[in-house]
Chains A and B, each alone.
Chain A
C-alpha cells in the first residue's frame, strides 16, 4: 500500500459543496432587488438624515416638568412586568415540564408543545392588541399579553433544558425506587435549576422592556404616555420618558444580576458595573 496508492489520492482532501456559494450570490441579488423595490436610494437616505437631525435637535434638553405622570406610568409598567413575569413563570414551569419528551409521554408533550408554540407565535404587541380588544384598555391587557409571552419563552427554554439533562443521574435516582415526583426533585431539577434562574431573570428583564411598550396600544404603562407625547410633538418630554425608561431597565438589570447571584453564586452584584458584565450574563444564560 505505498507508491501506487499515492497517485490515486484525491487532490482535494475536503468534501466541497457549491451550495454555500450559490446561496451567497442569491442573497446579494435579493438585497439589491429589495432596495430597488422599496425605492431605497442614497437620495432618500439623505432626506431621512436631514429630518433626523432636526428631530434629534428638538429632543434636547429633556423636559421633566410633568414628572408625576411619568412616574405613574413607570410604576404601572414595573407592576405589569413583575406580575406578568411571576404569573408567566408559575404557569410556564408545569407546561415546560409536560413538554419535555425525555420525561413525558407524547399525549402530554403534544398539547404542552402546542401551547408553547401558540404563545410564541405572535409578537407581544399583537397579543396586547388582542387583549385590549378582549378585556378592554388598561394594565390587565398588558399583564395578560406579557404573561403569554413569558409562558412561550420560559416554557420553550425550560423544555429544552430538561431535554438536555444527563440520563445517568435520572437513572441512578430511579434505581433507588424513587417515585416520579422524587425523581423530579432529586434527578431533574438540580440539573436545570440554575439555567432556569437565568431564563427567569432574563424574562423579567425583557418584560420590563416590553411593559414600557404595550402602553402604545393601550395596554397600560408608560408606553401610553410616550405615544401621546409623540403625537403632540412634545419631543423634549419624549426624551425625558426615554431617559427614565433607560434608568428603569438599568435598575432591572442590577436586580436581575442580584437574583442570579443569590441563586447561582457565580455572578455578583458588582459584576454589573464591571466591564464584560453583560457578556458574562449572556454566558450564564447559555451555560448554566
Chain B
C-alpha cells in the first residue's frame, strides 16, 4: 500500500534530517512512529504526502511514485491520504461544517468550492461524521470556538471526509491533556479499524504508542532503528531509540 525506498531529506545540504528510510505499510491498524524530538518524525510524515519534498528516494503509493508527481497528479494522489495535525490546523474562522467539507476540496471544482456548493452526498456524510466524532450539533460553530479535543475531532473528521486509503497523523495528541489524548487515540483507532484505513501516527508518548499501536517504528537520528510489534518494545530498544537510561524509571 505504501512503500518508502531509500527516502532522504535534508533541509540544508549536508545536514540530513532523514537518511535512507525504508518502510512498508500494508497491514491495517495503527503504526506508531516514536523517537526523540528532532529525529525527523514530522519530516517523514510530511514527506509521504509531499508537504515536504524529499531530497531522494521513492514513495510508492497506489502504484505511483509520489516523489515524481507534481501538479494535478500529485493533488489527485493527496486526496487519498488524510492528514491529522498536532495543532489541528483547522481554518479558525470557518465553521465546523466548512472545515469538514474542506476535506472534499480535492474532489470538488474550485468554482463550486468558492460558492460553497458541495454535492448533497458530501454534506450528508459530513453530518454523519460529526455524529461519529461526537460533535453532533456543532456544525455551525466557528472552529476557533472549540476546545483542543473538539478541534482534533474536527481534524480527524476532515481527514476522513477525503475517503482516504491511508491516514497520517503528526503528533495528534501532543497538544492535549492525557485524558483527551486517550480519547483521540481511541477515535483514531476506531475510525481506522471500522473503515479499514491503515493509520500512521507520530507519537511522543511511548505508553500511548504501546497501548494503541499494532506496530511500532523507532527513529533515531533520521534513521529507523526499530521496527516491530508493540510487544517487542522493551527497555533495551527504548534505550537505542532515545539514548540514555535514567529517564526510563
Interface of chain B residues 193 through 244 with chain A (CB within 8 A):
none
Within 8 A of A (CB), among B58-107: 72, 75-81, 83, 85, 87, 89-94, 98, 102-107
Which residue of chain B is the closest to A186 with respect to CB atoms?
B102
A168-B85, A171-B51, A186-B98 known; A177+B91 contact, CB < 8 A: no
Contact B108 A182 (CB under 8 A): yes
Tell which of A55-63, A94-102, A148-156, A187-195 binds the partner. Answer: A187-195
Closest to B79 in A: A177
- Which A residues, 158 to 185, have Cβ-Cβ distances below 8 Å to chain B? 166, 168-169, 171-179, 181-183, 185
Q: Mark B35-60, 1 if CB is under 8 A from A, else 0.
A: 00000000000000101000000000
* A interface residues, how many (CB within 8 angstroms): 22
Query: Chain B: how many interface residues by the 8 Å CB criterion?
Result: 33
Residues of B within 8 Å of A174, CB to CB, are 51, 78
Cβ-defined contact, B102 with A171, below 8 A: no
B153: interface (CB < 8 Å): no
Q: A179-B75, A186-B102 are in contact. Are A172 and B113 (CB under 8 A)?
A: no
Write out the residue numbers on chain A whose beta carbons fall within 8 Å of the beta carbon of B104.
176
- B110 touching A172, Cβ below 8 Å: no
By a CB distance below 8 angstroms, the chain A residues around B83 are: 172, 175
Is A177 within 8 A of B106, CB to CB? yes
Closest residue of chain B to A169 (Cβ to Cβ) is B91
In the complex the two chains form, what is the Cα distance from A177 to B79 in whole Å?
5
Q: Of A175, A185, A191, A194, which is in contact with the most chain B CB atoms at under 10 Å from its CB?
A: A175
Determine whether B247 belongs to the interface, using a CB cutoff of 8 Å to chain A: no
User: Please, which residues of chain B bring their CB within 8 A of the CB of A176?
Assistant: 78-79, 102-106, 158, 162
Decide: A172 and B162 in contact? CB cutoff 8 A: no
Across-interface contacts of B162 in A (CB, < 8 A): 176-177
Residue of B nearest to A172 (CB): B89
Q: A172-B83, A186-B94 are in contact. Are A178 and B105 (CB under 8 A)?
A: yes
Question: If the complex has contacts A176-B158, A186-B91, A191-B93, are A181 and B113 also in contact, measured as CB distance less than 8 A?
Answer: yes
Q: Which of B49, B76, B80 has the most CB of A within 10 A?
A: B49
Task: Report yes or no: B110 in contact with A185, Cβ–Cβ below 8 A.
Answer: yes
Residue of B nearest to A179 (CB): B110
CB distance from A267 to the nearest CB of B (A): 16
B contact residues around A171 at 8 Å (CB): 51, 85, 89
- Residues from chain B with a CB closer than 8 A to the CB of A175 are 49, 51, 78, 81, 83
Distance of A179 Cα from B105 Cα, bound (Å): 8
Q: Which of A195-244 contact B (CB under 8 A)?
A: none
Contact A190 B93 (CB under 8 A): yes
Q: Which of B78, B114, B158 is within 8 Å of A185, CB to CB?
A: B114
A182 & B85 in contact (Cβ 8 Å cutoff):
no
In contact, A173 and B93 (Cβ under 8 angstroms): no
Given contacts A169-B89, A175-B83, A185-B113, 20 further A-B contacts (CB under 8 A): A168-B85, A169-B92, A173-B102, A173-B105, A175-B51, A175-B81, A176-B158, A177-B79, A177-B80, A177-B106, A178-B102, A179-B105, A181-B113, A181-B114, A182-B105, A186-B98, A190-B93, A190-B98, A191-B93, A194-B93
B residues at A contact (CB < 8 Å)? 49, 51, 72, 75-81, 83, 85, 87, 89-94, 98, 102-108, 110, 113-114, 155, 158, 162
Top 7 nearest A-B pairs (CB, nearest first) are A177-B106, A181-B110, A178-B105, A177-B79, A172-B89, A177-B78, A168-B89
